[in-house]
Chain A
């Protein structure tokens, strides 16, 4: 039993069987996370005391006869989710000193299931970005090449799991913010159906799109988390009141009888040769596993980006109006309350957040609403209808998860170029569909020295999480791509036995 490399399932089994304890897992993980994070910067804050406290509680519950699905499993939490008593910043200066007075439902469910909080992870400010570079509070590096971005916005949550600083993590996905960084960091990233997981305690960005989901190093572990966090929450009126089909016990090993849709509009010739070869091999592997590949079309997918960059900023401009220097967060001085608002928001928000607030305010302003926001909502309908039609011909749609592997820092200074990273993830987000990225190989970037991981995106109809995770599991077990790469950070110490003295520094 190895607390760094073992699966969440294996750790929980060992803790439940009392062959190890949650306290031992915590004591092994805490110094390692500190050591690795000096290179990676995945965390904005680590919470060792809280982790120990939860570990003691888990051990007591197990001793009293309980069996917990995530007993003793180290988890990292994206820092746009509240956890009582921890700083919760959304990666923004405007919330730098905010201490959460309550806990998000998804986080609470993980803790109730026995998970141990390692800390809060870095993100693009208010989850707006595709590289992690928009955080105002820290720099997170890619565990597979420290000169490259981890992806975003759930930058630290992807890097922490990819760099073996946590077994699992939670992220949030609005237009690709789980799937793209998962692809960049060689991990599984899973966005469930919109409304499947409570958003209570998640700092809102675009409320009609935001969804919490897991990062894990295997599909089976992602399924374990899904089973714990999914389901109706009375504290979130948009969470869906519909039975959850558990996924973890229903994963499959082959794809016989599964029709997999290849999207005409996502033709691979948009990619460079090395990336194209990775996806061609992935599609061939799906076929080898028994899937029937069928051509499908999403004629409106090319409008996805334009639609998203009206809807998400519009909702963001409204949601972020609450940051006004009155009830929480930063306050700048002003002669009257209006000046105080304007200066507080000027000092507290970074450039990308300001850009999106401006776009959204413009799109919603008098005289433009019909041309922009309403038009985008209608386009959204057509995009969702396209998917529905495509799913008459197939059970799952596959595509690249991102437009390229992880790129170098400061490589994309133009906002629209950055937005294009999410070309493949955004249409499914607009349609609310469950979607994930699973490692599918690696390609050497032209300007790189190490092959960088890539992700295969799989998307299925609303509320078919069990099927989606099943397909991804079959593909993952047959290909084992994630295991072919080793993070540069991790010199995974050879003496990682739980019985080794903890706290020793390399």
Chain B
């Protein structure tokens, strides 16, 4: 497969990552070369092989539905690293466009 097969601008948009033209020029061949390496996997027979999400099996880990105070971050602590707060809230730039 060609090494420029990744539409890097599209992938960057999906990843919410602004890239400069220089970065695109650098990353495109690097990612292409890595994906070429990864293509070798196609030769590995995996018909009827189950997928491993993690090696040590565990499923449906549950706990009692009770409050565990030690896991609760106080509001003040939760807000302490925020770039911008307003009262007890995280403040962000506008999300919904103003009505014309």
Point out residues on A near B: beta carbons under 8 Å: 97-99, 101-102, 193-195, 208, 234-235, 237-238, 240, 300, 302-303, 305-307, 309-310, 317, 321, 324-331, 333-343, 345-346, 349, 351, 354-355, 357-359, 361-362, 365, 372, 374-382, 384, 414-416, 419, 430-432, 462
A372-B84 in contact (CB<8A) = no
CB distance from B36 to the nearest CB of A (A): 9
Known contacts A336-B94, A354-B17; decide if A238 and B54 are in contact (CB<8 Å).
yes
User: In the assembly, what is the distance between CA of A355 and CA of B58, in Å?
Assistant: 31
Can you list 7 pairs linking A and B with CB atoms under 8 Å apart? A208-B53, A234-B68, A305-B37, A325-B83, A335-B94, A341-B16, A430-B55
B100 interface residue per 8 A CB criterion: no
Within 8 Å by CB of B19, from A325, A354, A419, lies A354
A195-B81 in contact (CB<8A) = no
Chain B residues, Cβ within 8 Å of A341: 16
A346-B17 in contact (CB<8A) = yes
In chain A, what residue has the closest Cβ to B6? A362
A345-B54 in contact (CB<8A) = no
Chain A residues, Cβ within 8 Å of B71: 235
Within 8 Å by CB of B73, from A97, A102, A194, A310, lies A102
Number of interchain pairs (Cβ within 8 Å): 179
B52-A377 in contact (CB<8A) = yes
A382-B19 in contact (CB<8A) = no
In chain A, what residue has the closest Cβ to B58? A238
Point out residues on B near A: beta carbons under 8 Å: 6, 8, 11-12, 14-20, 23, 26-27, 30-31, 33-35, 37-42, 44, 46, 49-56, 58, 61, 63, 68, 70-71, 73, 77-78, 80-84, 90, 92-95, 97
Known contacts A102-B73, A195-B58, A345-B17; decide if A334 and B93 are in contact (CB<8 Å).
yes
B44-A432 in contact (CB<8A) = no
Other A-B pairs, 5, CB within 8 Å; known A235-B70, A357-B15, A375-B41:
A327-B81, A329-B81, A416-B34, A432-B54, A462-B56
In chain B, what residue has the closest Cβ to A365? B14
Known contacts A235-B71, A306-B37, A309-B34; decide if A195 and B56 are in contact (CB<8 Å).
yes
User: In the assembly, what is the distance between CA of A16 and CA of B83, in Å?
Assistant: 45
A381-B52 in contact (CB<8A) = yes
User: In the assembly, what is the distance between CA of A238 and CA of B35, in Å?
Assistant: 30
Chain B residues, Cβ within 8 Å of A331: 83-84
B38-A310 in contact (CB<8A) = yes
Residue among B20, B46, B70, B82 with max Cβ neighbours from chain A (10 Å): B46
Within 8 Å by CB of B37, from A208, A416, A431, A462, lies A416
B11-A365 in contact (CB<8A) = yes
A237-B61 in contact (CB<8A) = yes
Known contacts A234-B63, A331-B84, A432-B54; decide if A326 and B92 are in contact (CB<8 Å).
yes
CB distance from B28 to the nearest CB of A (A): 10
Known contacts A309-B34, A334-B93; decide if A194 and B55 are in contact (CB<8 Å).
yes
User: In the assembly, what is the distance between CA of A358 and CA of B7, in Å?
Assistant: 10
User: In the assembly, what is the distance between CA of A372 and CA of B11, in Å?
Assistant: 15
User: In the assembly, what is the distance between CA of A346 and CA of B31, in Å?
Assistant: 18
Within 8 Å by CB of B49, from A343, A351, A382, A432, lies A382
A376-B11 in contact (CB<8A) = no
